[in-house]
Structure 1
Amino acid sequence: MASSVPAELSRNISWSLSKSRAQRYVCLIFTLALFLLLATAIITKTSPAAAASTLASRVFSRSGSSFYFYPTASSFETHIQSPPNPNPSPNPQRNHGHGDGNTSSVVVDNNPNSSSDGNASSAVKQNVAQVEKPNLRSRKTKTHHKKPSKRPKKKNKKHSNANASSATTAIDPSKAKTRTGKDLRSCDFYDGSWVVDDSPPAYLPGSCPFVEEAFNCFENGRVDDDFLRYRWQPGHCDIPRLDGKEMLDMLRGKRLAFVGDSLNRNMWESLVCVLRESVTDKNQVFEISGRVELKTEGFYSFRFEEYNCSIEFIRSPFLVEEWEFTDKRTGARKETLRLDVIEESAFKYQHADVLIFNTAHWWTHPKTSEGKDYYQEGNRVYSKLEMTEAYTKALHTWSKWIDDNVNANKTTIFFRGYSSSHFQGGQWNTGGGCDGERMPITDESYLTPHPVMMNVVESVLREMKTPVYYLNITKMTTYRKDAHPSIFREANTQRKPGMIQDCSHWCLPGLPDVWNQIVYALLLTTHHNPQYNSS
């Protein structure tokens, strides 16, 4: 018995020492973990909770587990650029397609009485953020379209009708916020590039009966679909995929009207087709007058019966009044453009809930670009007036009418920028063409300079008291010499050298779908959707 005591004592001492050593190790590990957590919070400029989420997600991701953290408002950050000079110089620095650094903006809001941040007068507000990238790809199945051969992509992945419908689901609410807590209102959608993406288009080529012949490239014989396999990727955020049902819900009981030239008609037909794809009973979508032809009339309206809403197009290529009168001296009929009178169709769209304007291409035609005996103010017809000056006068007439006649508390207003043309070897009527183009421009140094007209637009929008969303799509379109109808502007036309080509408008489906995707994203921010707004 006596000999067993030292042995028992020895075991107790050994156990105590082991326990003490373990406690020291636990203490050391806890101290190191706390130090690492604080260091991560300081480096990433996030809250300790967000830093803990980051560390935990990395640890669990390495072990094959999943870990999710829903940040609180305290972990959000917002960076707002300083407002631009309200009186820019007449020759601002160009930047190959998206204006000066302050004008690739989401919204121009200069109303001192608006609910926007404090000193919003004469300022373009813009937040730039990084949106967590959603998974926009969906499973692809076979289609009848010819598979392109000049693009790097996986084999046997083509568009399917089923996927064209399913691909319009909204992005996951947990992924709608940015990595640092910023939202879609912080996104600069216009500074980016085109990236290869095999996701199906919002609607299949040839599937929408409301695409007019001039834009229906596939029905007119274009067999390659390479140009549909690109996605516009902003540099610091992502654009959510257009969810047709959600957009129709936002437009329930409302009117959305496109006002402008044939490029806006291009965009109008695109939106009608995207939204139609999400409607179960396609017979509930119809043009209210029963027209099948969508080109010659000045007003069209598609009604979505289930949602009691309409998507309209109002032709107004200059936004101001085209005029005819009899010359008292010669008795001849003369045409003028009345720069100080809003186009008479304005009262058709005055009370719409969403307005999308544009005016650009018609100002480049010979009559307007030369400016001889064409521009009129009051009773005066200018013998000569520079196009840029005339364009400025016309936009001031439009902006004043909007400020005086449109209720900004009811109506959301967009102005779409210049859509680039890609004629080579001449213009549309002098042998210019773009057929054979199969890939976008990849070198930004080859992009054309920012159009002078868009400098005018940006200046006028800054001066308005009514908030206007500026769709600055010029740069993204300048890359895309491959996506025009070119020789496929008419059906059953014999292809021959010298034929008239269309290198201004866009095939549908195509680029206008992206413009409407941006409109959808911006409407999400105006409808106070908690999934996309942090406030």
Structure 2
Amino acid sequence: MKFLNFELLFRNNTSNQTISKVTIQAFKIFFIFTVTTVLSYSLFSHSPLLKIKLYNKQYSYDDGLLNEAELESLSSTSLVNKCDIFSGEWVPNPKAPYYTNTTCWAIHEHQNCMKHGRADSEFMKWKWKPYECELPIFNPFQFLEIVRGKSMAFVGDSTSRNHMQSMICLLSRVEWPIDVSHVYDLSFKRWKYSSYNFTIANYWTPHLVRAKKEDPNSVFFNVYLDELDETWATQIKEFDYVIINGGQWFLGPIVFYENQKVVGCQYCNLENVTHLNLNYSYRKALRTTLNAISSLENFKGTTFLRTFSPSHFENGLWNEGGNCVRTKPFRNNETKLEGDHLDLYMIQLEEFKIVKRESIKKGLKFMLLDTTQAMLLRPDGHPNRYGYWPNENKTLYNDCVHWCLPGPIDTWSDFLLEMLKWKV
């Protein structure tokens, strides 16, 4: 959950990563707003090869670089009749939306843009058009038939929950689910479609690995890069489909641990503690997560790694008036993925390549749900200030991270259904 561009907030820090009191206070406000949300229940071309060539940074780890052949092979995991469904543009779709904020109760207040006064509605009337084929609009009847008798887990940050809520709304044309949650915790919800014996669950785990705050008033998280978050890791084996995402929360103040010892930090003033960048910290956490899933005994499910969903703050930082007021999508030549957003995306591609290669040897299924380009082009689809009433008597900030419902995030289910059809 990234209501702010941490890379902008902290870019000019000194080598010991000191944070100003103003920044710490800002992050406290961010964290409070984040918890409230939880509890309230292009790229350079359409060619994935070209976007690597035009970005001259070397992405490496102990497994080495992605070469063109490997990237082409990775991209080919999403090819049907030589069509990459993840490369394309947004085109008008006057038939949309397929539900409204008044017909779906699953929309949380913070994504209920029309309820809170958003005047324009064109942001709901687009569909994703791959360059070389058509991507069918989500068919809820077909989806429920494919997943009949199965289960699906959404594992990650609040954009993962945003996805699940979108899916519930899309499926509402067929059936409403019943709440079968094991615990009364809005961070870990479970729903069942009784007529289809299909269960979906959400596990809110923003760092994927184990993380905690020693002091609730502190801005710092302690993140254990080599330890799983047991809240989801102990239950994931029972699911037929697992959708993993993460990255936003690795852009804030963190102290990193391995083998129960401090190995580095980000945006801290701890003496003799090394600064760790995303290429180590997020990569290590993601690798721990994917390796753990691939090592589960008797796990026969399919794991989807959903790629990074960029935020779109403009005109300032998240806590300095930053907003997202655009009312139509970008074209591919109007924006590009860069900075920490690009770093996170590239790490995901490389780590997926590694686990995909190993999973083939084990007979496991890993698939790349590559939503990054599509969402990069949708600065118009965020709640901005329409996730709350304008006269609310509390400090609130524009949300340029999550997605209005209905809205662009509904397309994630278009992608997912198409990928499930390939498996059948």
Separation in 2, partners of 1:96, 1:406: 41
Counterpart check, 1:461 vs 2:411: no
Of 35, 49, 53 in structure 2, the residue corresponding to residue 100 of structure 1 is: 49
Separation in 2, partners of 1:391, 1:98: 26
Of 229, 240, 244 in structure 2, the residue corresponding to residue 343 of structure 1 is: 229
| Pairwise CA distance, 1:252 | 1.4
Q: Residue 153 of structure 2 contacts residue 239 of structure 2 at CA under 8 Å; is this kept in 1? A: yes
C-alpha distance after superposition, 1:181-202 (max 9, x if no partner): xxx3643111111111211222
Q: Residue 97 of structure 1 contacts residue 447 of structure 1 at CA under 8 Å; is this kept in 2? A: no
Separation in 2, partners of 1:217, 1:225: 10
Q: Residue 306 of structure 2 contacts residue 368 of structure 2 at CA under 8 Å; is this kept in 1? A: yes
C-alpha distance after superposition, 1:376-421 (max 9, x if no partner): 001321222223211111111112101101656x311111111111
Which residue does 1:357 correspond to in 2? 244
Separation in 1, partners of 2:119, 2:191: 29
CA distance change for structure 1 residues 205 and 124 in 2, over 3 Å: closer, same or farther? same
Counterpart check, 1:271 vs 2:167: yes
Matches within 5 A, 1:24-35: none
Separation in 2, partners of 1:482, 1:333: 30
CA distance change for structure 1 residues 124 and 448 in 2, over 3 Å: closer, same or farther? closer
Q: Residue 126 of structure 1 contacts residue 188 of structure 1 at CA under 8 Å; is this kept in 2? A: yes
CA distance change for structure 1 residues 204 and 290 in 2, over 3 Å: closer, same or farther? farther
C-alpha distance after superposition, 1:291-337 (max 9, x if no partner): 9x9xx6331011111111111111111110003569xxxxx998410
How many residue pairs end up in the alignment?
343
Which residue does 1:379 correspond to in 2? 260
Which residue does 2:321 correspond to in 1? 431
Separation in 2, partners of 1:236, 1:97: 11
Counterpart check, 1:507 vs 2:388: no
Q: Residue 325 of structure 1 contacts residue 333 of structure 1 at CA under 8 Å; is this kept in 2? A: no
Q: Residue 278 of structure 2 contacts residue 343 of structure 2 at CA under 8 Å; is this kept in 1? A: no
Counterpart check, 1:126 vs 2:79: no
CA distance change for structure 1 residues 477 and 376 in 2, over 3 Å: closer, same or farther? same
Gaps of 5+ in 1: 1-93, 104-118, 130-183, 327-331, 369-373, 528-535
| Pairwise CA distance, 1:428 | 2.2
Taking structure 2 as the reference length, what is the TM-score of the superposition?
0.74
Gaps of 5+ in 2: 1-42, 53-68, 265-272, 360-364
Counterpart check, 1:308 vs 2:197: yes
Matches within 5 A, 1:12-91: none
CA distance change for structure 1 residues 526 and 443 in 2, over 3 Å: closer, same or farther? closer
| Pairwise CA distance, 1:471 | 1.6
Of 360, 363, 383 in structure 2, the residue corresponding to residue 485 of structure 1 is: 383
Q: Residue 97 of structure 1 contacts residue 451 of structure 1 at CA under 8 Å; is this kept in 2? A: no
Which residue does 2:101 correspond to in 1? 205
Q: Residue 128 of structure 1 contacts residue 236 of structure 1 at CA under 8 Å; is this kept in 2? A: no
Q: Residue 127 of structure 1 contacts residue 186 of structure 1 at CA under 8 Å; is this kept in 2? A: no
Counterpart check, 1:517 vs 2:407: no
| Pairwise CA distance, 1:454 | 1.1
Separation in 2, partners of 1:441, 1:398: 33
Counterpart check, 1:193 vs 2:74: no
Counterpart check, 1:471 vs 2:357: no
CA distance change for structure 1 residues 226 and 454 in 2, over 3 Å: closer, same or farther? same
The secondary structure found in structure 2 opposite 1:451 is: helix
CA distance change for structure 1 residues 448 and 333 in 2, over 3 Å: closer, same or farther? closer
CA distance change for structure 1 residues 202 and 185 in 2, over 3 Å: closer, same or farther? farther
The secondary structure found in structure 2 opposite 1:503 is: coil
Q: Residue 354 of structure 1 contacts residue 411 of structure 1 at CA under 8 Å; is this kept in 2? A: yes
Of 299, 310, 315 in structure 2, the residue corresponding to residue 420 of structure 1 is: 310
Q: Residue 192 of structure 1 contacts residue 233 of structure 1 at CA under 8 Å; is this kept in 2? A: yes
Which residue does 1:297 correspond to in 2? 186
| Pairwise CA distance, 1:232 | 0.8
Residue identity in the other structure for 1:124: L
Separation in 1, partners of 2:343, 2:71: 24
CA distance change for structure 1 residues 341 and 99 in 2, over 3 Å: closer, same or farther? farther
Separation in 2, partners of 1:185, 1:263: 31
CA distance change for structure 1 residues 473 and 333 in 2, over 3 Å: closer, same or farther? closer
Relative contact order, higher structure (CA 8 A, sep 6+):
2
- The two structures, once aligned, show a CA RMSD in angstroms of 3.0
Separation in 2, partners of 1:276, 1:269: 11
Matches within 5 A, 1:155-194: 184=80, 186-194=82-90
CA distance change for structure 1 residues 97 and 447 in 2, over 3 Å: closer, same or farther? farther
Residue identity in the other structure for 2:140: G
Separation in 1, partners of 2:71, 2:323: 44
Q: Residue 78 of structure 2 contacts residue 419 of structure 2 at CA under 8 Å; is this kept in 1? A: no
Separation in 2, partners of 1:453, 1:97: 19
Separation in 2, partners of 1:243, 1:234: 18
Separation in 1, partners of 2:367, 2:298: 15
Identity value in percent: 27
Which residue does 2:150 correspond to in 1? 254
Which 4+ stretches in 1 moved above 3 angstroms? Answer: 94-103, 119-123, 323-326, 332-335
Separation in 2, partners of 1:421, 1:507: 13
CA distance change for structure 1 residues 510 and 335 in 2, over 3 Å: closer, same or farther? closer
Residue identity in the other structure for 2:243: I
The secondary structure found in structure 2 opposite 1:468 is: strand
Separation in 2, partners of 1:460, 1:290: 32
The secondary structure found in structure 1 opposite 2:155 is: strand
Which residue does 2:179 correspond to in 1? 287
Which residue does 1:140 correspond to in 2? none
Taking structure 1 as the reference length, what is the TM-score of the superposition?
0.59
